[in-house]
Amino acid sequence: YFRSLENNGIHLNKAQLKAVRHVDGPFLTLAGAGSGKTTVLVCRTGYLMTVKKVDPRQLLLVTFTKKAAMEMKARIAKLPGVNKSQADKVMAGTFHSFFLYLLRSQGNREEILSSERQKQIILKQIQRSKGIHDPYEPEVLLSTLSFYKMNLIDRGDWPSSTQVEKEKNEILIAFENWKAENRKMDFDDILVYAYDLLIHNPSLTSSLQKRFQYVMVDEFQDTNLLQYSLIKLLVKGHRNLFIVGDDDQTIYSFNGARNDFILNFDNEFPEAEMTTLDLNYRSMPDIIGLGNEVIRHNKKRRVKMLKPTKAGRINPLYSRPSTTDEEAEWTLKKVQTLIASGKYSYKDISILHRTASSSRAMFERLLLEEVPFITYNVHDQLFYEQWIVKPIIDYLRLALVPRNFEAIEGILPTLFVGREKGIQYILNQERSNRKKYPIIHLTTMNHIKSFQVKKIKDRLKLIKTLQNEKPVDAIKMIRKEFYDTYLECAEQKKVTEHKEVLKETLNELEASAKRFDTVSTFLTFIENMKKKHEELQNISKAEKKDALSLMTIHRSKGLEFPVVFLIGACEGNLPHSSALDIEKLKDRNTFSSGKDMLGDAIEEERRLAYVAITRAEEELYISSPAFYQGEKRDISRFIVSAFQKDTVKKPISKKQIPKTKKKVKAWICTSQECIAWQRIEEGEIGGKLCPLCHSRMDIGIKEV
């Protein structure tokens, strides 16, 4: 078996062999990125099947994302001595897919409530019916609920000492009841129901324990208490639990992931054998070096140093564009050069971003340049179609064409008028009375309340004034009209973290609109984007086989690409502003029960940076736009601290630039994409190469 593996190009090292050959009892492989953990898991699967003749139906492999599960299956099918039908018999999936399969096999037929938006609407309705006027953001309520569930905190133990907590609990319980009455469950419920089922049905549990003799979990560092408890139930008795993971890659703390589970694995399984892997097979030495430099600043970790197996010098390249649009342009130019060189195709390239709204500029650029690309994000939606943005665009459309009925329909919820009913009413009135501004018909609707009439009239006034504004000013006016009061209110009540997402999205919208002089050119641009997006969605699967990927760092976990671009590496994005607000967050009621579980948010952000960097095999590009979502931003502290070698001094954060500027003679990198400079030491002469990007350095004057 091992010889055939070698013929397939996989020469397992000693530590890997130890893990792969392990058969009975618990086993932990704790090792850094790209060291071959997933490889070990896959090869062990083959070893058990072909050498140990284990029935493939007795194997269960669990991982976190659908894409990772699919890749795992594909890799198993390619193992020597494993045919397709055997590979198909191995149970390999995500936590959710496996436990959903289990529930369904036990007769559960509840419909899955997968839309976050729908859940939010239900929560709003519940609040309204209870006479509570929106002080609790649905997103926050949902994350609280999820936190309780993932940490197995029973209803009776939910914190309830304050009025706020009591009120929240009441809403959440009503939400749970609504789901039960309507025979629906959400993704969290899949795991909760499965846990209840296993706890209350010992004969089922023991039959599962018999069926799955060997249980393996990839990316174990991201398991939460509920997931860990489920796994422990499955392996009770035989204890054949084989896990691999990297505590430096815990990036789902918000979902209850706790990297102490992997670090303290031997508390639960004292007999566990263990190995670490310290050779990196994935990345070029300088990429590994950068990864190590970034992560070593974390305090809560087990120190690991990865040694490269690949040789060659391709340095990560850094750039500091002025805006995200410029960043996107720069990236695309690089992409085209890489493709033109013939060395790479689109599928080799991945662009990673921190949050959904931070990919707006890149998404547009890719559409404009007609690059085939795939987003692995949950919503493959155009920025302007998102629920926060769409009504604003509809206001702009109405400013140009007041008789645009589709746009009228789009803004009805912002007038607190039901969509279907409202538009029906307007269309009926239109038959006898055609108005220049059909929206005014609404004021004559039955049962319309006086506050709604006022809103309709105010908004009509607004629509009339928008037409001649610059698009960015028009958006500011709309924002003022119906988001700012809401945001202020949220600020005062300190009940929401969701306001961050809202603010970010609106700032990004303004940054986008700033590029256009008139509302009509902005809207034409959006129409064009929509068309291009539709075209992209219609291209065939075959064509998509060679597509670039644009995804969040979270989604990139476990994957690898020859070329990686990490965009938006600036303060406020990576680390994200929510992490910078951690002190506020810790005070918040939401997590009063789990303050200690929150962990250090900055460390989590640093792990995200580490995950992003370590996805790259050969080339890595990092960029930090100077203006991000309309605000001036410093370079990400993670990048700065990694590049802060003794010899390289760069102007880094504002704090570090002394107020009185002094002119010094310095080496300055000639590459516009690089920010490096160094003081000239006495006696130094020309011919120096930049330590960051290897371009030539020139002598010049630097203000410090």
Class of residue 110 by CB neighbours under 10 A (exposed 0-12, middle 13-18, buried 19+) = middle
Residue among 219, 232, 302 nearest 267 (CA)? 232
- Return the biggest CA–CA distance within the chain: 90
For 380, 524, 528, 545, the CA distances from 535, given in Å and listed in that order, are 13, 17, 11, 16
Question: Which window, 31-39, 273-281, 634-642, 696-704, contacts Mg ion (CB under 5 A)?
Answer: 31-39
Q: What is the dihedral of CA 11, 15, 16, 22, to 10 degrees?
A: 130
Which distant-in-sequence residues (6+ apart) come within 8 Å of 118 by Cβ?
Answer: none
- Binding to Mg ion, residues 56-115 (CB under 5 A): none
Reduce the DSSP state of residue 152 to 3 states and report it: coil
Strands (E), 35-145: 59-63, 91-94, 111-112
Question: Is 246 among the residues that bind ligand ATP (CB under 6 A)?
Answer: yes
Reduce the DSSP state of residue 351 to 3 states and report it: strand
Question: Is 22 among the residues that bind ligand ATP (CB under 6 A)?
Answer: no
Running DSSP on this structure, what letter comes out for residue 376?
-
Residue 281 partner contact from Mg ion, ligand ATP, none using kind-dependent CB cut-offs of 5 to 8 Å: ligand ATP
Question: Which window, 37-45, 81-89, 314-322, 677-685, contacts ligand ATP (CB under 6 A)?
Answer: 37-45
**34 annotated as belonging to a binding site for a ligand:** yes
User: Can you read off the two tokens belonging to residue 317?
Assistant: 């390249």
Interface mask toward Mg ion for 499-538; x: CB under 5 A: ----------------------------------------
**272 annotated as belonging to a binding site for a ligand:** no
User: Can you read off the two tokens belonging to residue 265?
Assistant: 């694995």
**355 annotated as belonging to a binding site for a ligand:** no
Measured from the CB atom, the residue of 422 and 558 that comes closer to Mg ion is: 558
Residue 44 CB neighbour total at 10 angstroms: 25
**549 annotated as belonging to a binding site for a ligand:** no
Measured from the CB atom, the residue of 246 and 364 that comes closer to ligand ATP is: 246
Distance CA 490, CA 477 (A): 19
**558 annotated as belonging to a binding site for a ligand:** no
Which distant-in-sequence residues (6+ apart) come within 8 Å of 590 by Cβ?
Answer: 140, 143, 144, 147, 497
Residue 13 partner contact from ligand ATP, Mg ion, none using kind-dependent CB cut-offs of 5 to 8 Å: ligand ATP
**38 annotated as belonging to a binding site for a ligand:** yes
Query: In this chain, which of 159, 391, 438, 558 binds Mg ion, going by CB under 5 A?
Result: 558
Question: Is 13 among the residues that bind ligand ATP (CB under 6 A)?
Answer: yes
Reduce the DSSP state of residue 628 to 3 states and report it: strand
Smallest separation (angstroms) from Mg ion to the CB of 402: 55
Measured CA angle at 68 (ends 65, 70), to 5 deg = 110
Smallest separation (angstroms) from ligand ATP to the CB of 11: 5
Distance CA 568, CA 627 (A): 10
Smallest separation (angstroms) from ligand ATP to the CB of 243: 12
Q: What is the dihedral of CA 212, 255, 615, 565, to 10 degrees?
A: 150
Measured from the CB atom, the residue of 37 and 576 that comes closer to ligand ATP is: 37
Residue 623 partner contact from Mg ion, ligand ATP, none using kind-dependent CB cut-offs of 5 to 8 Å: none
Question: Is 224 among the residues that bind Mg ion (CB under 5 A)?
Answer: no
Question: Is 556 among the residues that bind ligand ATP (CB under 6 A)?
Answer: no
Alpha helices in 182-295 (DSSP H): 187-200, 202-211, 225-235, 260-263, 265-268, 285-295
Question: Is 37 among the residues that bind ligand ATP (CB under 6 A)?
Answer: yes
Question: Is 38 among the residues that bind Mg ion (CB under 5 A)?
Answer: yes
- Binding to ligand ATP, residues 278-307 (CB under 6 A): 281-282
- In residues, how long is the chain? 704
Residue 12 partner contact from ligand ATP, Mg ion, none using kind-dependent CB cut-offs of 5 to 8 Å: ligand ATP
The helix (run of H) or strand (run of E) holding residue 688 is none
Smallest separation (angstroms) from ligand ATP to the CB of 314: 17
Residue 34 partner contact from Mg ion, ligand ATP, none using kind-dependent CB cut-offs of 5 to 8 Å: ligand ATP
Residue 11 partner contact from Mg ion, ligand ATP, none using kind-dependent CB cut-offs of 5 to 8 Å: ligand ATP
Query: In this chain, which of 316, 391, 558, 568 binds ligand ATP, going by CB under 6 A?
Result: 558
**33 annotated as belonging to a binding site for a ligand:** yes
Residue 119 partner contact from ligand ATP, Mg ion, none using kind-dependent CB cut-offs of 5 to 8 Å: none
Number of residues that bind Mg ion (CB under 5 A): 3
Measured from the CB atom, the residue of 50 and 589 that comes closer to ligand ATP is: 50
Distance CA 363, CA 383 (A): 8
Measured from the CB atom, the residue of 410 and 558 that comes closer to Mg ion is: 558
Question: Which window, 34-42, 176-184, 476-484, 504-512, contacts ligand ATP (CB under 6 A)?
Answer: 34-42
C-beta of residue 563 within 8 angstroms of C-beta of residue 348: yes
For 82, 557, 603, the CA distances from 576, given in Å and listed in that order, are 45, 18, 11
Number of residues that bind ligand ATP (CB under 6 A): 19
Q: List contacts with ligand ATP (CB under 6 A).
A: 10-13, 16, 33-39, 246, 249, 281-282, 558, 560, 614
